[in-house]
Amino acid sequence: MAQKRENIHKYLFGHPFRTDSVVADIPVSAGEAPYLLRSQDETGEVFRYALSEEDRVYGLGEQVRGIDKRGWVYASWNMDDPEIHENRQSLYASHNFLVVDGKEKFGVFVDSPGKVVYDIDYTTRGEMAIFCGRDFGLYIIEGESVLDVIRTFRKMIGRSYIPPKFAFGFAQSRWGYMNETDVREVADEYGKCGFPVDMIVLDIDYMENYKDFTINGERFPDFPAFVREMKARGIRLIPIIDAAVKAEDGYSVYEEGCKGGYFCKDKDGKPFIVGVWPGDSALPDFLSPEARAWFGEKYRVLLDCGIEGFWNDMNEPSLFYSKDSLARTIRGIAEKEGKNLSLTEFWSITGSVARLANNADDYASFYHETEGGKVSHKEVHNLYGYNMVRAASEYFGKYDKDKRTLIYSRSSHIGMHRYGGIWTGDNASRWDHLLLNLKMLPSLNMCGFLYVGADIGGFGQDTTEDLLLRWTALGAFVPLMRNHCTFGSRRQEYYRFGNRQAFKNLLDMRYSLVPYLYSEFVKSALRDELMYTPLGFLYPDDERAKETEDQMFVGGSIMIAPVYRQNTRGRNVYLPEDMKMVRMRSVSDYTEEILPKGDHYVEMGFGEVVFFVAKGKAIPLAKPAKNVAALDEEHLLWIKYADGKTTYELYDDDGFTTDVREENIRTVTV
Ligand code: MIG
């Protein structure tokens, strides 16, 4: 039943595509949208807002730059490009929600499956301009505070995905674990060092020639037995599934897809062929409900082997080339053979090759069969990864309706937050990427994504021990705690470094924090709240808090202030109120100190976890264990900052139930 919600205004423009980003039934409002000045240009509708000096703009999820988004142009256009730096306009995901925080406070959600551009105080100082295209929904959300606006928005898009509890353990990954021996070695070394671990991730090499839903029989001769062997050691294997399906006769997934018409088609109705890891491949049409049901069911082979978690990659979709554009490019270059070329002609050759990947013309050359009819991919580009995950998730519910399955994706869009988590793609071993990891967390939460993480240590390039230590100290507080890197880079499993004790402390501390992280995560999901909250959202009258973008509340009880610079023994920390500083090397080796509101230089050693408890708050900690299942949560240690008693809302369950409910949160007095 349509509810009238005074604080949500909804408008439709053109013929909006049904994205299923919003689940609430909201009636269309009359008149023009408040706050924004509407105009048109050659791209479609444009909405402008005059920003005053003190206004801040938050949101946009997986994006570059600060928590306050002012001063740059951002685009929603899912893109596989590992060169991540502050001058990029879009990364792997598109999250079209932002909040203006000033005298006026309101949220804007552009419900569009295609390109949206946000020029926030960049081209024209003091102006925000949003270029929405022609066919979209626009929501304006009002509230008393930034947090209020976010809560209303989150409620409107539906409850965030909750993974199984083991997903709060640690995951070791690397592109290049080739076979059982490689995986066993990781498990053995973790065991020898006494490092806890819950998951070892399988990248594309476990497959036969990069074919989805196959297992390379030479590398993994008895996969179900190997899955069992690892599980008996307390470790779950998390295989990857790529978006594109190898186009090869005799490969059942390809043949079924062709027969059922489940692939995206070219203008002549034939499967559109692109080049990615398996070579020539077809793209499942995840926007078609039939294709989703078909592809989802394919997960069964792996689920039947005992697999309980997956990751989805290459689903922007990433295209190294399309068959047609590659052929055209090769012909173009061949024509130049033997000619005396000008430099401009020479560069047009290198340019034509460089433009092959993720080419806009290719994205405009294939089509989806949707409930609303045939649409060009270009119009709905940003929904592809979202619906890939949805395909899997819808099937997991059928395979075992009472059990949560782990899934996280590279590409995403608002709406996908109900079906799975995300990791933020191909970062690199750079100190600024550690800071970016921190800053993205609240923006992602605002857009519904709670199960999130970045590759710890950096995916590309070579990590260093100090970077890895500092990054792991942040990762200890992040739901998806995964150390992952590319083949060809320096190996970065923790046991390869000298300071093992420091790494052990950090990993053990993570496991000690699981009762807290799990409780805070579930509460955030059930109550449509942030798990990571910037200081400025909590202390709106404190200018210093507002400009502090390198500290964060994690859940309701604690603030973290990670070290993200090399050659430092600690850092400056701003306390927005009196807080208790806790410095832990382990749950049995720690110090506490009450510090007054204001600035402090705080030393933070490698192998120490430092956090700050807010007044009246408590946190539960468990003794470390080799994996999540082995944690003793009957006997918790409590840390609090209170004279006398205080309470904490603790959540726990069997780790798998889909029946996650508010009533199962217990208020514990400590
Ligand atoms: O083109 O599967 O972001 O995590 O290791 C690279 C190989 C494909 C990109 C993912 C990365 C993964 C890699 N993949």
> Ligand 1: distance of its center to the CA of 247 in Å?
20
* Distance from Cα 8 to the centre of ligand 1, integer Å: 39
For the cut 50, the answer to whether the pLDDT of residue 11 exceeds it is yes
In this structure, are residues 480 and 171 in contact, taking their beta carbons and an 8 Å threshold? yes
pLDDT beyond 90 at 356 = yes
Its sign, for the CA torsion 340, 342, 344, 347, is positive
The answer on pLDDT for 2 being more than 60 is no
Mean pLDDT, residues 368-394 taken together: 96
The C-alpha torsion from 608 through 611 and 613 to 619, rounded to 10°, is -60
Q: Is the dihedral of CA 392, 397, 399, 400 positive or negative?
A: positive
Question: Mind listing the pLDDT tens digit for each residue in 198-217?
Answer: 999 999 999 999 999 999 99
Is the C-alpha dihedral spanning 7, 13, 15, 20 positive or negative? Answer: negative
Q: What is the pLDDT of residue 226?
A: 98
Q: Is the peptide bond before 576 cis (omega within 30 degrees of 0)?
A: no
DSSP characters over 97-130: EEEEESSSEEEEEEE-SS-EEEEESSSSTTEEEE
Residue 1: predicted pLDDT: 40
Atom of ligand 1 nearest to the CA of 426: 3
Give the whole-number percent of the chain exceeding pLDDT 90: 99
Give the pLDDT of residue 372: 86
Q: Whose CA is nearest to atom 6 of ligand 1?
A: 314
Among 486, 487, 489, 492, name the best residue to mutate to test ligand 1's pocket (greatest count of ligand atoms within 8 A of Cβ): 486
| Interacting residues of 224 by C-beta distance below 8 A, sequence separation 6+ | 304, 305, 306
Distance from Cα 410 to the centre of ligand 1, integer Å? 9
* Mutation probe of ligand 1 site: the residue of 172, 211, 313, 409 with most atoms within 8 A of C-beta: 313
Residue with token string 């920390």: 573
Cα-to-centroid distance, 62 and ligand 1 (Å): 18
Q: Which atom of ligand 1 is nearest to the CA of 277?
A: 1
Work out the pLDDT band at 3, boundaries 50, 70, 90: very low
Cα 240 to middle of ligand 1, angstroms: 9
Looking from the CA of residue 240, the nearest atom of ligand 1 is 2
264 CA → ligand 1 middle, Å = 22
Checking DSSP bridges between strand 373-376 and strand 406-409, what pairing results, if any? Answer: unpaired
Among 81, 84, 175, residue to substitute to test ligand 1 (most atoms within 8 Å of Cβ): 175
Residue 52: what pLDDT?
A: 97
Distances (CA, A) of 190 to 122, 170, 195, 235, 483: 48, 11, 5, 11, 13
For residue range 108-118, list pLDDT tens digits in order. Answer: 999 999 999 99
pLDDT of residue 4: 47
In 360-499, which residue ranges form alpha helices assigned H by DSSP? Answer: 360-363, 377-380, 384-399, 431-446, 465-475
Ligand 1 pocket (Cβ < 6 Å) reads 175, 203-204, 240, 313, 410, 425-426, 459, 484, 486
Q: How does DSSP assign 385-414, residue by residue?
A: HHHHHHHHHHHHHHH-TTB--EEEESSEET
Task: State which of 314, 315, 455, 492 you would mutate to test the pocket of ligand 1, scoring each by most atoms of that ligand within 8 A of its C-beta.
Answer: 314
Identify which of 277, 303, 539 has the alpha carbon closest to the alpha carbon of residue 399. 303
Q: Residue 17 pLDDT > 50, yes or no?
A: yes
Joined together, the tokens standing for residue 287 give: 């926007």
Three-state DSSP at 247 gives: coil
What number of other Cβ atoms are within 10 A of residue 377's Cβ?
22
What residue owns the CA closest to ligand 1's atom 5? 175
> What is the distance in A from the centroid of ligand 1 to the CA of 311?
11
pLDDT band at 527 (very low <50, low <70, confident <90, very high): very high
- Per-residue confidence (pLDDT) for residue 371, from 0 to 100: 87
CA of 313 to the centre of ligand 1 (A): 7
Instruction: Give the distance (Å) from ligand 1 centre to CA of residue 189.
Output: 24
Instruction: Centre a 10 Å sphere on the Cβ of residue 409 and count the other Cβ atoms it contains.
Output: 29
DSSP codes joined into one string, 547-584: H--S-EEETTTEEE----STT-SEEEEEESS-EEEEEE
Give residue-wise pLDDT tens across range 458-512.
Answer: 999 999 999 999 999 999 999 999 999 999 999 999 999 999 999 999 999 999 9
Distance (angstroms) between ligand 1 centre and the Cα of 263 equals 22
Question: pLDDT at residue 282 above 60?
Answer: yes
Spacing, Cα 402 to ligand 1 middle (Å): 31
Q: How far does the centroid of ligand 1 lie from the alpha carbon of residue 249, in Å?
A: 26
Mean pLDDT in residue range 186-199: 98
633: Cα separation from own chain's centroid: 28
pLDDT band at 5 (very low <50, low <70, confident <90, very high): low
Q: Give 446 Cα–ligand 1 centroid separation in angstroms.
A: 26
Please report the atom of ligand 1 found closest to the CA of residue 410: 3
Ligand 1 atom at shortest distance from the alpha carbon of 173: 5
Query: What residue owns the CA closest to ligand 1's atom 11?
Result: 426
> Which atom of ligand 1 is nearest the CA belonging to 175?
5
Across the chain, mean pLDDT equals 97
Model confidence pLDDT, tens digit, residues 537-549? 999 999 999 999 9
State the pairing for strand pair 665-669/647-651.
antiparallel
Ligand 1 nearest-atom number relative to CA 311:
4
For residue 487, the ligand 1 atom closest to its alpha carbon is: 5
Question: Which atom, in ligand 1's list, is nearest to the CA of 204?
Answer: 2
Q: How far is the CA of 382 from the centre of ligand 1 (A)?
A: 19
pLDDT at 222: 98
What ligand 1 atom has the least distance to the C-alpha of 455? 4
pLDDT tens column, 425-464 = 999 999 999 999 999 999 999 999 999 999 999 999 999 9
- Of all protein residues, whose CA lies closest to atom 12 belonging to ligand 1? 175
